[in-house]
Structure 1
Amino acid sequence: MILSREGSKLVYHRLAWKEPFAPHLLQVLYEDDDMVALNKPSGLQVLPKGIFQQRTVLAQLQWKEWKMPPSSCSKRKNVQLHPVPVHRLGRGTSGLLLCAKTKLAKVQLASYFAEGAANAEKKRDGTEVGKERKISKFYRALVTGILEHDGDVVTQPIGLVHYPGVAEGLYVACSSGKPAMSKVCVLERLAHQNQTLVQVEIHSGRPHQIRIHLAYIGHPLVDDPLYCIGGQPKFHDLESTSTDISFAYDGGYERPLQPVPGDCGYHLHAHWLVLSHPTTNK
């Protein structure tokens, strides 16, 4: 017990915050008055979380001085710039990241992604229920093993389970989870390496969906540190887990000893997307 007199001051000296290194170069692939498409490098986090608070895509979007073209300023006087990502890519995932530049574009683009998730309820043959999708995302992934069929549709639900070091839980293949759908297409079989290059189109946006679905069908991503066959975490002894209490490594964050979702190393790239423009509908 600490006894103090009235008016006493308690001073706490916390350790200096130190974020680990992260790549920062963002190539602009497309830009107009409403949105911008970026090429995100593997290792760069999209939104602040955990040990990454400043070295993120969101921070870079907010620091950049965006300017509306003179031609649009006269027509859109009430437009407020509000640059934010409208979907996420895992920290270890590279490739296309779509960002809105205005609040109106953000609402519209976010509704496209929400519609895709809502339409994840599928018929047995894999066709989609609902109206035509406004946005489609295609990834390329390098997986372990040789896929037998040229195409496959994975509809395994994805849900949360308790996992040490991840406060909100870990997403895994789970029968009680939310519906998810991924269409897998073989691009190249690398027999001498026992690997397959595939294209994956996702019809829903569950966290780590591609990693989980490919692992679920027996072909985890090459060098995936977290998910193994079955869409479950590689670390199985979940009850006897401790954390590294050496604070010097990451400035005060207790880094888990077992793999966590933010770990990199896997081979997954957001390759291309097709969408209806948020204002012109083209």
Structure 2
Amino acid sequence: MVTSIVVDQNAQCLSSSRQINYVFGVPWPDLNDGLKYTDNIKSSNTQEMIDLTLIQFYSTKYRDSAPILGWIQRIRNRQITVDGEVVTDPDFTIRIGSKLVYNRLPWKEPNAPYTLQVLYEDEHMIAINKPSGLQVLSGGLFQQRTVLHQLQWKTYGHISSPHTCLSASSREQHPTPVHRLGRGTSGILLCAKTKIAKSRLASYFADGTSSITVRRTSRMENDSRGISKSYRALVQGKLHQDEVQIEQPIGVMHYPGVAKGLYVASSSGKPSSSKVLVLERNIERNETIVQVEILSGRPHQIRIHLAFIGHPLVGDPLYVSGGHPNYSQPVSEDATFAKDGGYHRPANPVPGDCGYHLHAHQLVLRHPTTNK
């Protein structure tokens, strides 16, 4: 029999006497620190680099960041240096070996909660209760207002600049999320505090995704997985079956406003498995509360799978029945640009939009160092 640590929404922790249920968080600065994007120009084919201009380079390599007119504005706004010198001519010719730096100006990120509740903590890992509306890692409009930054500030103190130098020993102690939750998803987020914990916890999650053999039980005693995750969700409609096993592959489609494509239900996608258990049916409101155990870890898997079987999450702005996005016709790309030179925010819903009801309710795992 394998003993395990259980962390659930009520902060119940087994096999530990560690302090739990404390809260931390630093209010967000009005503006973030901006970003630097560095490119060292080199090519295996010298012919490709002949007469390559600054605007050609940026509008090609970073075409998903801004339209060509937006990049011209950024160049003329003195936001790009070549070998340490500001260049304002879009037709400046780049040489092989040059170092290009684009300085993205500081901006005010959208509102996001900043307080985090600790559910479990020891020398190797920490489990926190992530609120809905807070992104886990930096990306898109959210570069500073993330769980990761709050963990950094908790460990090192409030660092004003992301370029502040830290000692090697400090970096090793930095807590790092070992999996992700969608920005609109609340609940348990597991973070590693040591290298060995990060490696082993990450392998637990990877093993669950790579091994798609459907398991008919979630009990750790009969499960070789190092970790088991269950969620609570509020879905539209009445599920008639008490238990549903969903085996729908998830793939990627081109979608405006999502540079790397949108994850959707797709017969040509990667195998994905979810086990759904009905907890409560609300006949009057035509809604159902379900528990979902995911046996693989595809992005937005629960939202996609429940929508695929005709029961999208209540309040989900993106996924509708069938596991596809909520728009009737393709939205054309907008060639105009916003104040900072980038694209305008798409009018169609995107994955980071909140409003849906999904909570990471419970994690059951073997400790990464004691194996208990």
Shorter chain as denominator, the TM-score bin is: 0.7 to 0.9
| Counterpart selection for 1:103 from 192, 195, 217 | 195
What is the rounded CA distance, in whole Å, between the counterparts of 2:338 and 2:119 in structure 1? 41
Q: Per the alignment, do residues 111 and 9 of structure 1 end up closer, same or farther by CA in structure 2, a change over 3 Å counting? A: closer
SS at match of 2:155: coil
Which amino acid counterpart does residue 254 of structure 1 have in structure 2?
Answer: H
- Establish whether residue 263 from structure 1 lines up as the match of residue 342 from structure 2: no
Structure possessing the higher radius of gyration over alpha carbons:
2
- Establish whether residue 180 from structure 1 lines up as the match of residue 272 from structure 2: yes
1:239-250 correspondence to structure 2 within 5 Å = 239-242=331-334, 245-247=337-339
What is the rounded CA distance, in whole Å, between the counterparts of 2:244 and 2:182 in structure 1? 23
Instruction: Note the alpha carbon deviations across 1:50-72, whole angstroms, 9 max, x for none.
Output: 00000001111112127xxxxxx
What is the rounded CA distance, in whole Å, between the counterparts of 1:263 and 1:219 in structure 2? 19
- Establish whether residue 38 from structure 1 lines up as the match of residue 128 from structure 2: yes
In the other structure, the counterpart of 1:146 is: 238
Q: Per the alignment, do residues 273 and 13 of structure 1 end up closer, same or farther by CA in structure 2, a change over 3 Å counting? A: closer
SS at match of 1:64: helix
For structure 1, which runs of at least 5 residues remain unmatched after alignment? 3-7, 67-76
- Establish whether residue 21 from structure 1 lines up as the match of residue 78 from structure 2: no
Q: Per the alignment, do residues 151 and 9 of structure 1 end up closer, same or farther by CA in structure 2, a change over 3 Å counting? A: closer
In the other structure, the counterpart of 1:136 is: 228
What is the rounded CA distance, in whole Å, between the counterparts of 2:104 and 2:265 in structure 1? 39
| Counterpart selection for 1:214 from 284, 306, 321 | 306
SS at match of 1:240: coil
What is the rounded CA distance, in whole Å, between the counterparts of 1:62 and 1:21 in structure 2? 19
Which amino acid counterpart does residue 316 of structure 2 have in structure 1?
Answer: D
What is the rounded CA distance, in whole Å, between the counterparts of 1:243 and 1:218 in structure 2? 35
Q: Following TM superposition, by how much is the alpha carbon of 1:247 offset from its aligned partner in structure 2, in angstroms? A: 3.4
Which amino acid counterpart does residue 153 of structure 2 have in structure 1?
Answer: W
Instruction: Note the alpha carbon deviations across 1:211-260, whole angstroms, 9 max, x for none.
Output: 00000000000010000000000113225353884438xx9563111000
What is the rounded CA distance, in whole Å, between the counterparts of 1:244 and 1:199 in structure 2? 44
What is the rounded CA distance, in whole Å, between the counterparts of 1:105 and 1:138 in structure 2? 21
Matched residues, number: 263
Contact kept in structure 1, 2:233 and 2:290, CA below 8 Å: yes
Q: Following TM superposition, by how much is the alpha carbon of 1:177 offset from its aligned partner in structure 2, in angstroms? A: 0.7
Contact kept in structure 1, 2:136 and 2:180, CA below 8 Å: yes
Q: Per the alignment, do residues 241 and 104 of structure 1 end up closer, same or farther by CA in structure 2, a change over 3 Å counting? A: same
What is the rounded CA distance, in whole Å, between the counterparts of 2:117 and 2:103 in structure 1? 39
What TM-score, normalized to structure 1?
A: 0.85
Q: Following TM superposition, by how much is the alpha carbon of 1:10 offset from its aligned partner in structure 2, in angstroms? A: 3.7
What is the rounded CA distance, in whole Å, between the counterparts of 2:305 and 2:86 in structure 1? 55
SS at match of 1:271: strand
Q: Per the alignment, do residues 44 and 239 of structure 1 end up closer, same or farther by CA in structure 2, a change over 3 Å counting? A: closer
What is the rounded CA distance, in whole Å, between the counterparts of 1:160 and 1:13 in structure 2? 31
What is the rounded CA distance, in whole Å, between the counterparts of 1:244 and 1:274 in structure 2? 49
- Establish whether residue 280 from structure 1 lines up as the match of residue 370 from structure 2: yes
Q: Per the alignment, do residues 82 and 104 of structure 1 end up closer, same or farther by CA in structure 2, a change over 3 Å counting? A: farther
Instruction: Note the alpha carbon deviations across 1:162-207, whole angstroms, 9 max, x for none.
Output: 1011000000000111111100000000000000000000011100
What TM-score, normalized to structure 2?
A: 0.65
What is the rounded CA distance, in whole Å, between the counterparts of 2:318 and 2:120 in structure 1? 33
Contact kept in structure 2, 1:244 and 1:257, CA below 8 Å: no
Contact kept in structure 2, 1:36 and 1:98, CA below 8 Å: yes
Instruction: Note the alpha carbon deviations across 1:34-91, whole angstroms, 9 max, x for none.
Output: 000000000000000000000001111112127xxxxxxxxxx9x9313100000000
| Counterpart selection for 2:149 from 59, 65, 70 | 59
In the other structure, the counterpart of 1:224 is: 316
Which amino acid counterpart does residue 114 of structure 1 have in structure 2?
Answer: A
Q: Per the alignment, do residues 254 and 97 of structure 1 end up closer, same or farther by CA in structure 2, a change over 3 Å counting? A: same
What is the rounded CA distance, in whole Å, between the counterparts of 2:358 and 2:181 in structure 1? 10
What is the rounded CA distance, in whole Å, between the counterparts of 1:133 and 1:190 in structure 2? 34
Q: Per the alignment, do residues 14 and 56 of structure 1 end up closer, same or farther by CA in structure 2, a change over 3 Å counting? A: closer
Instruction: Note the alpha carbon deviations across 1:104-137, whole angstroms, 9 max, x for none.
Output: 10000000011101111448xx679x96111000
| Counterpart selection for 1:234 from 323, 326, 341 | 326
RMSD: 2.8
